[in-house]
Amino acid sequence: MAAWETVIGLEIHAQLATKSKIFSAASTAFGSEPNTQACAVDLGFPGVLPVLNAEVVNMAIKFGVAIDAKITPVSVFARKNYFYPDLPKGYQISQFELPIVGQGDLSISLEDGQSKIVGVTRAHLEEDAGKSLHEEFTDQTGIDLNRAGTPLLEIVSEPDMRSAKEAVAYARKIHTLVQYLEICDGNMQEGSFRCDANVSVRPMGEEKLGTRAEIKNINSFRFLERAINFEVERQIDLIEDGGKVAQETRLYDSDKDETRSMRSKEEANDYRYFPDPDLLPVAVTDDDIERIRASLPELPEQKRQRYISDLGLSDYNAELLTGSRDIADYFEQALAKAPTLSSQIANWILGNLTGALNKADLDIKDSPISAVMLIELIDRIADNTISGKIAKQVFDAMWQGEGSADAIIEAQGLKQITDSGAIEAIIDEVIAANPDQVEQFRAGKEKVLGFFVGQIMKQSKGKANPGKVNQLLRDKLK
Ligand code: ADP
Ligand code: MG
């Protein structure tokens, strides 16, 4: 019997994919020389004034509309005051009481095929801080301010998740959504998409939430799951040993697979929030919202439904194909060339192609086999030029860069044998060489048919058309 219930709420920081920063014209490009991309506004020099980048407002509204959230008609930027070396202004411009995106929700699919609604409390705009570099220096800390002023959308969930798996499903769903909306590149290694997990436990059946710890520094979905599981164990052990969970910020160490205390949790009033006097409130009209709603691409959930109802794909395949915009785009490029072959295309993408990509640790965007190349291969199976088995061989050759499906089939002489005369000649040979099996078949042992088919396919080097073989073989054996 599970005596404890896990409660998780996530705060996700999605870096908005604008060219310039949220309040200045400085570039947001990743990977430049330290301290070459922070301008006087980002550094908060006396006398400078921030100017809001209109594009970040559009992007936040896109997200809000996509999760059916209330868009706040007039939202306000506030100063969150704290002292830290990578925050040269001494405050971060964020939103506090009036975030641009209010309450919304998101449906997540769970492993058992069920779905669950997770509440989104709010999503607000804010600027990122700089980076402290601890590893590159001994007894010193380097400060890189390139990231200062980079636009972030912080998406805060309700404490609705009940397991690490649910938290991962939710985080993945948001990750997919922001990429579909083209408001965030989703790159977790570069820190464009970061998760903080708030974790608590409570006795099963208890309504009051337990004291939570907030885990920072999680940069992959795998670590998110492991960090939460570790933290849940730690809290249960602590309470069962008579201790108390402290409300604190903890750090996840992926090398040791553990969380460690970083600092005690600050309360909102520690930050002395107040409206930023240098920035006007952000007014959003219904027209703005409708214009943005009309500009939205087809969202993953709509796509998934369409793949099931219009294309006849299985729930499972539809879910996998829409799990990333890149995969869905690839699928649709192929589908555009052969609209009747949807399930074959889905199977090739989710089977051989995904297998090969995973093995080579490649993204579908960098696949050596393009959607157009893949559909040529699938076409050759559909028009009986090659069998499904030979197609795998052609696929491998395409992967190795040996050219298009047609070129490989031609060069390696892989065309299927459909000519009845040629197939009959092989069948006759095989029948003559195996009189015992012929006897068995005639005595009613249907199973030996498989043996004959195997022999014939082997003789033909896999090129005989299996349908023809089956049909002609039965006739001859009778
Ligand atoms: P803060 O901004 O100080 O971290 P919030 O109240 O905004 O605090 O909550 C942040 C996140 O913590 C939200 O995602 C919320 O759902 C989650 N949360 C709040 N209380 C708990 C709790 N007891 N257990 C788990 N998650 C919680
Ligand atoms: Mg927090």
How many whole angstroms from 118 Cα to the centroid of ligand 1? 14
For residue range 133-158, what is the model confidence (pLDDT) as tens digits? 988 888 999 999 999 999 999 999 99
State in Å: Cα 199 to ligand 1 middle: 8
Nearest ligand, CA 124: 1
The pLDDT tens digits for 9-19 are 999 999 999 99
CA of 11 relative to ligand 2 center, distance in Å = 6
pTM, 2 dp: 0.84
pLDDT (mean) for 211-216: 95
Instruction: Mean pLDDT check: name the lowest of 4-8, 68-72, 417-421.
Output: 417-421
End-to-end CA distance of the chain, in Å? 63
Ligand 1: nearest atom to the Cα of 209: 23
Angle between helices 420-433 and 448-459 (to 10 degrees): 120
Alpha helices in 85-136 (DSSP H): none
Output the pLDDT for position 135: 83
Q: Hey, how many other C-beta atoms are within 10 angstroms of the C-beta on 26?
A: 21
Ligand 1 center to residue 214 CA distance, Å?
8
- In testing the pocket of ligand 1, which one of 161, 212, 224, 231 has its CB within 8 Å of the most ligand atoms? 212
- Which residue is associated with the tokens 């922001």? 178
Q: Which ligand is nearest to the CA of 212?
A: 1
| Cα 173 to ligand 2 centroid, rounded to whole Å | 20
Tens of pLDDT, residue by residue over 425-476, are 999 999 999 999 888 988 888 888 899 999 998 888 888 888 888 889 988 8
**What is the number of the ligand closest to the CA of 9?**
1
CA distances to 298, 300, 312, 341 from 305, in Å:
11, 9, 10, 18
CA of 265 to the centre of ligand 1 (A): 11
Query: Which ligand does the CA of 13 lie closest to?
Result: 2
DSSP tag of 417? B
Cβ pair 118, 100 in contact under 8 A: no
Q: Which two three-digit tokens encode residue 52?
A: 């809001």
Burial of 453 (0-12, 13-18, 19+ CB in 10 A): middle
Highest mean pLDDT out of 224-238, 245-259, 315-329, 417-431: 224-238
Q: Residue 98 gets which letter from DSSP?
A: S
- Point out the ligand 1 atom lying closest to the alpha carbon of residue 158: 16
Neighbouring C-alpha atoms within 13 Å toward the C-beta of 77:
24
**Are the beta carbons of 104 and 64 closer than 8 angstroms?**
yes
Ligand nearest to the CA of 118: 1
User: What share of the chain in percent tops pLDDT 70?
Assistant: 99
| Average confidence (pLDDT) over 247-268 | 86
Q: Say which DSSP state 83 is in.
A: -
Instruction: Compute, in angstroms, the gap from residue 427 CA to the centroid of ligand 2.
Output: 73
- Closest C-alpha residue for ligand 1 atom 4: 214
Query: What is the model's pLDDT at position 340?
Result: 95
Q: Which of 33-37, 351-355, 421-425 has the lowest mean pLDDT?
A: 421-425
The closest-lying atom of ligand 1 relative to the alpha carbon of residue 266 is 3
The pLDDT, as a whole number, for residue 477 is 84
Q: Which ligand ends up closest to the CA of 211?
A: 1
Residues forming a β-bridge with 203:
4
Q: What is the C-alpha to C-alpha distance for residues 234 and 217, in angstroms, rounded to an integer? A: 18
Region class of 16: left (phi > 0), else alpha (psi between -120 and 50), else beta: beta
Task: Tell me the mean pLDDT in the region 165-173.
Answer: 96
User: Which ligand minimizes its atom distance to the CA of 94?
Assistant: 1
Q: Is the pLDDT of residue 266 over 80?
A: no
* Index of the ligand 1 atom closest to the CA of residue 156: 14
Q: Per-residue pLDDT for 234 more than 90?
A: yes
Whole-number pLDDT of residue 269: 79
Beta partners for 108? 116
Pocket of ligand 1, beta carbon within 6 A: 7-11, 156-159, 198-200, 209-210, 212, 214
Instruction: Report how far apart, in Å, the C-alpha atoms of 280 and of each of 64, 81, 265, 283, 320 are.
Output: 21, 19, 31, 9, 43
Residue nearest to ligand 1 atom 5, measured at CA: 156
pLDDT per residue as tens digits for the range 411-423: 998 988 888 888 9
d(CA 124, ligand 1 centre) in Å: 15
Is the distance from CB of 104 to CB of 153 less than 8 angstroms?
no
Among the atoms of ligand 1, which is closest to the Cα of residue 157?
14
Ligand 1 centroid distance, CA of 65 (Å): 23
Q: Which helix (H) or strand (E) is 413 found in, with range?
A: none
For ligand 1, atom 14, the nearest C-alpha belongs to: 9
The pLDDT of residue 402 is above 50? yes
> At residue 478, does pLDDT exceed 90?
no
CA distances from 93 to 96, 152, 317, 370, 432 (A): 10, 11, 43, 44, 86
- Examine the pLDDT at 117 and tell me if it is beyond 70: yes
pLDDT over threshold 90, residue 298: yes
Number of H helices, E strands in the chain: 17, 15
Q: In which band, very low, low, confident or very high, does the pLDDT at 1 lie, cut at 50, 70 and 90?
A: very low
Report the nearest atom of ligand 1 relative to the CA of 268. Answer: 3
Distance 11 CA to ligand 1 centre (A): 8
64 CA distance to ligand 1 middle (Å) = 20
Q: How confident is the model at residue 2 (pLDDT cuts 50, 70, 90)?
A: low
Name the residue at shortest CA distance from atom 2 of ligand 1.
268
Token pair in block for residue 378: 């699938």
Q: Which atom from ligand 1 is nearest to the alpha carbon of 210?
A: 23
- How many other β-carbons are positioned within 10 Å of the β-carbon of residue 29? 11
Mutate to test the pocket of ligand 1, among 95, 103, 198, 244 (most ligand atoms within 8 A of CB): 198
Mean pLDDT of the chain: 94
Q: Which residues contact 286 (CB under 8 A, 6 or more apart)?
A: none
Which atom of ligand 1 is least distant from the CA of 10? 14
The percent of the chain in helix, strand and coil, each rounded to the nearest 5, is 40, 20, 40
The mean pLDDT of 161-182, rounded to a whole number, is: 96
For ligand 1, the distance from its centroid to the CA atom of residue 369, given in whole angstroms, is: 45
Which atom, in ligand 1's list, is nearest to the CA of 267?
3
Which residues, other chains included, contact 236 with Cβ-Cβ below 8 Å and sequence gap of 6+?
Answer: 4, 201
Mean pLDDT, residues 238-256: 93
